[in-house]
A and B are shown apart, each in its own frame.
Chain A
Amino acid sequence: SAVISQKPSRDICQRGTSLTIQCQVDSQVTMMFWYRQQPGQSLTLIATANQGSEATYESGFVIDKFPISRPNLTFSTLTVSNMSPEDSSIYLCSGGTSGGHEQFFGPGTRLTVL
């Protein structure tokens, strides 16, 4: 299984600012994903991070709001831009093996926007 780290683990940010979350995996996973999880809710896929190209976004998520980079196989960043209190959530990255079948999650970033 892959070991995945994220930073920061938590942050409190002001409305209108941006936060970049970093995700590092310890092995060459096939795919990397970014999710959002509201308290008591399930996971919502934001996008699939593609190495060296634009991420593939899910309905309701756009690149201007959630720019994603993946410069190599083991590293990705998610930026939450122009934040509002509605962006307060836990953001999780995951690494998928064997075509993304099994996923291993980072510890998450708990974001609070005031």
Chain B
Amino acid sequence: QKEVEQNSGPLSVPEGAIASLNCTYSDRGSQSFFWYRQYSGKSPELIMSIYSNGDKEDGRFTAQLNKASQYVSLLIRDSQPSDSATYLCAVLGGGFKTIFGAGTRLFVKA
């Protein structure tokens, strides 16, 4: 069974620090990778997508992809209390089915 694994956390970082969220996946043929943010009581919101090996930066967010090692990471620089949420890693597999990880809860302490 194709899987996406994340550390459930909680990950706690002080305000202004870098938060590092990691994800591994089992389907070596996966080509598209996503990070969603989900605030408590809200629906998931797409924050980053990455398709090629390497880094992709968007503001304070950097997604990193290493297909050989089958991992994806999300770095949040200058973390803010408003970044406190659950972050879901998602991988697009065969048949255009997206598999979501269980999510990592992030707490940013003011």
Least CB separation from B105: chain A residue:
A40
Give the dominant DSSP class at B's interface. strand
Residue among A43, A96, A102 making CB contact with B88, cutoff 8 Å: A43
Q: Mark B42-83, 1 if CB is under 8 A from A, else 0.
A: 111110010000000000000000000000000000000000
| A113 at the binding interface (Cβ < 8 Å) | no
| A42 at the binding interface (Cβ < 8 Å) | yes
Residue among B32, B43, B96, B101 making CB contact with A42, cutoff 8 Å: B101
| B97 at the binding interface (Cβ < 8 Å) | yes
Q: Tally of A-B residue pairs with Cβ under 8 A?
A: 44
Residue among A48, A100, A101, A105 making CB contact with B44, cutoff 8 Å: A105
Tell me the bound Cα distance from A22 to B101 in angstroms.
26
State whether A105 touches B43 (Cβ < 8 A): yes
| A111 at the binding interface (Cβ < 8 Å) | no
Given the contacts A41-B102, A42-B88, A101-B49, A106 and B96 also touching, CB distance less than 8 Å: no
* Chain B interface category by residue count: 10 to 19
Give the dominant DSSP class at A's interface. strand
| B11 at the binding interface (Cβ < 8 Å) | no
Q: Using Cβ atoms and an 8 Å threshold, which residues of chain A touch B97?
A: 45, 48
Within 8 A of B (CB), among A84-105: 92, 96, 99-105
The smallest C-beta distance from B52 to any residue of chain A, in angstroms, reads 14
| A67 at the binding interface (Cβ < 8 Å) | no
The smallest C-beta distance from A95 to any residue of chain B, in angstroms, reads 11
Least CB separation from B97: chain A residue:
A45
6 contacts between A and B (CB under 8 A): A100-B98, A101-B49, A102-B46, A103-B46, A105-B43, A108-B43
- Give residues in A with beta carbon < 8 Å to B: 1, 31, 33, 41-43, 45, 48, 92, 96, 99-108
